[in-house]
Structure 1
Amino acid sequence: MTEPAATGAVVKGAAVRCVPAVPSWVSLMAGDLESAMAFYGSLFGWSFSRGPDRWGPYVRAMLGGVAVAGLSGSTDLELPVAWTTYFGTEDADMVAERIRARGGTVAIGPLGFDAGRLAIASDRAGAPFGVWEGDRRTGAVLHTLPGAPVWIELRTPDAFDAALFYGGVFGWDERDPAEFDVRWEHDRVVLRTEERSVAALVRATDPEARPSWNVYFSVADADASVEQAGRLGADVLGEVRDSPYGRVADLRDPHGGRFSLLGPRLPEDD
């Protein structure tokens, strides 16, 4: 288990922010923490800061003095190597009750820790996610600094059912539309906050794939980053392709953790 923190504006010393109702942090459960640090550090230019080790070895990935992700090590071979997306909330206990009431499962927590309260859960289709109740006063949402998580996407058999589930759990319809918006955009249910699209729910194209929240990391050049990831031992899952939000690629790190890259589109030929 890792400690959430916000991916905020690129300001050294900026306080961590929990952003209610939207993804506010991502973390990797790695079987081999040192190997994961070497891979992602080389790919994204991350440095690392040691964090609290209450639940095992844990580091924060840093860019320009800003924490952008968490990585933790585990000796439990039963646990898959995977990225977890944490949603911010004002009340983790209330959200846990709503998850259960709507057919989801709360596997861990809510538990108190230094930065607030957290829980690990799964929706009614089985997609795992985290809940984090923390400081909501300062910071910002996902940003476009290369190497940081910039987009989170749920791939699930029924995106509309998923939207009903998460909307009920996090009170999407109760939010101020000037600050939070849910819309249908490019065949996706898209979450927008602070005038930026930050996450989406989309029907999975592979019916055999396990429902999951997929993390997209911002890169300056998706094609070049895919080549570099391959040299570092990653598996490239399909071709680099254009999307409404940029040029994207799906990968699996050397230990099986799936993630994606999002970069600008290639310039069109004249």
Structure 2
Amino acid sequence: MMSDRTLDRGVVSSHTVFGAPCWVSLTTRDLRATEDFYHAVLGWEWHSGALGDQYRFARVNGVPVAGVSGMSGIGPKMATWTTYFAVASADETVSRSQERGGTTAVGPISFPPGRAALLADRDGAVFGIWEGQLVAGWEAWRRAAPVFVRLHTRDAFDAAIFYAEVLQWASSDPASCQVDYEDNEVVLRSQGDVVARIHSGAVGAAPDPTIRPHWRVHFAVDDVETCARAARAHGGTAHQQGAGSTEAILSDPDGAHFSVSSQDSR
């Protein structure tokens, strides 16, 4: 989303790819402990940028992959990962969301070189939008950390309609995302690659009222088991399907959930 002071070359406009995830950001109570955890689990290195020491950039091989901020009066009030989607106009996107039953928690507000807003869809799942310049190398960012993001919700088709209309998926613009249905999930592709999935259970099943709709970030890793062990050793939790599993659900010491997936399991 926001570029740091050292990334002023090669930034691209969100207009070159819109409707797709473009950044992920974590709010936490303890920045130092959070940095130590994600360094141990994902190998991230940490740097400050234009927003000061209270917003830290994580990097993998020099590529900015995520942001972490301490809790404040703006944004989520619990430790959580938030996915941001690139949009051409934050104001227009907020209006489309509100017209379709979504809510606006924050914004749009200015974060040079762009504008952001924090929204919730009509089923309560929180997501962010970003209008403006992206960190250099959008494809490098996407491959360096987020494999994809997945929305767990009560009604995948209803959610897909909401996001398609709000984020302009499947439009005639070549920069927009394509939507398919595969393996009981709505699948979002950008430039041919899977960038998001929407899941709500088996086809034809009634919406599950026990599900708390949310977006979960999946990070690409070389070894899922190694990450799971590191998470447990550094105050977090890890839940796996079994030995050799290609995916695990982890939480950091502050309770923020995310997933790690093998590089080829998208």
1:255 aligned partner: 254
2:24 aligned partner: 26
Q: Is the counterpart of residue 229 in structure 1 residue 226 in structure 2?
A: no
The secondary structure found in structure 2 opposite 1:208 is: coil
Name which structure has the greater RCO, CA cutoff 8 Å, separation 6+: 2
Q: Is the counterpart of residue 170 in structure 1 residue 172 in structure 2?
A: no
The secondary structure found in structure 2 opposite 1:85 is: strand
- 1:14 deviates by 4.3
Q: Is the counterpart of residue 119 in structure 1 residue 117 in structure 2?
A: yes
Which whole-Å CA distance do the structure 2 matches of 1:137 and 1:232 have between them? 30
The CA deviation string for residues 60-93 of structure 1, in whole angstroms up to 9 with x for no partner, is 10112211000001267x8110000001000000
Which whole-Å CA distance do the structure 1 matches of 2:12 and 2:2 have between them? 6
2:241 aligned partner: 239
The 8 Å contact of residues 117 and 129 in structure 2, kept in 1 or not, is answered as yes
Which whole-Å CA distance do the structure 2 matches of 1:92 and 1:75 have between them? 22
- 1:17 deviates by 5.3
Which whole-Å CA distance do the structure 1 matches of 2:84 and 2:175 have between them? 23
Which whole-Å CA distance do the structure 1 matches of 2:136 and 2:197 have between them? 24
Change (3 A) 1:248 1:182: same
Which whole-Å CA distance do the structure 2 matches of 1:241 and 1:177 have between them? 41
Letter in 2 for 1:59: R
Which whole-Å CA distance do the structure 1 matches of 2:135 and 2:229 have between them? 40
Letter in 2 for 1:100: Q
Out of 175, 188, 191, the residue aligned to residue 191 of structure 1 is 188
Letter in 1 for 2:27: M
The secondary structure found in structure 2 opposite 1:25 is: strand
Which whole-Å CA distance do the structure 1 matches of 2:135 and 2:40 have between them? 33
Out of 96, 115, 138, the residue aligned to residue 94 of structure 2 is 96
Out of 7, 11, 15, the residue aligned to residue 15 of structure 1 is 11
The secondary structure found in structure 1 opposite 2:91 is: helix
The CA deviation string for residues 95-136 of structure 1, in whole angstroms up to 9 with x for no partner, is 000010000001111111212011000000000000100126
Which whole-Å CA distance do the structure 2 matches of 1:178 and 1:91 have between them? 14
Sequence identity percentage: 38
Moved more, 11-20 or 37-46: 11-20
Long gaps (5+) in structure 1 = none
- 1:241 deviates by 7.7
1:210 aligned partner: 212
Which whole-Å CA distance do the structure 2 matches of 1:137 and 1:53 have between them? 14
Moved more, 45-54 or 78-87: 45-54
Which whole-Å CA distance do the structure 1 matches of 2:72 and 2:242 have between them? 33
Change (3 A) 1:229 1:14: farther
Long gaps (5+) in structure 2 = 203-207
1:160 aligned partner: 157
- 1:184 deviates by 0.5
The secondary structure found in structure 1 opposite 2:225 is: helix
- 1:209 deviates by 3.6
Change (3 A) 1:216 1:136: closer
The secondary structure found in structure 2 opposite 1:173 is: coil
Letter in 2 for 1:185: E
The secondary structure found in structure 2 opposite 1:255 is: coil
Letter in 1 for 2:252: D
1:131 aligned partner: 129
Which whole-Å CA distance do the structure 2 matches of 1:81 and 1:104 have between them? 22
Following superposition of structure 1 onto structure 2, how do residues 69-84 of structure 1 map, counting pairs within 5 Å?
69-74=66-71, 79-84=77-82
The CA deviation string for residues 177-196 of structure 1, in whole angstroms up to 9 with x for no partner, is 68631100121111111111
CA RMSD between the two structures = 2.8
- 1:25 deviates by 0.4
Change (3 A) 1:88 1:31: same
The secondary structure found in structure 1 opposite 2:122 is: coil
The CA deviation string for residues 130-174 of structure 1, in whole angstroms up to 9 with x for no partner, is 0100126963335333xx111100000111100010011011132
The 8 Å contact of residues 239 and 249 in structure 1, kept in 2 or not, is answered as yes
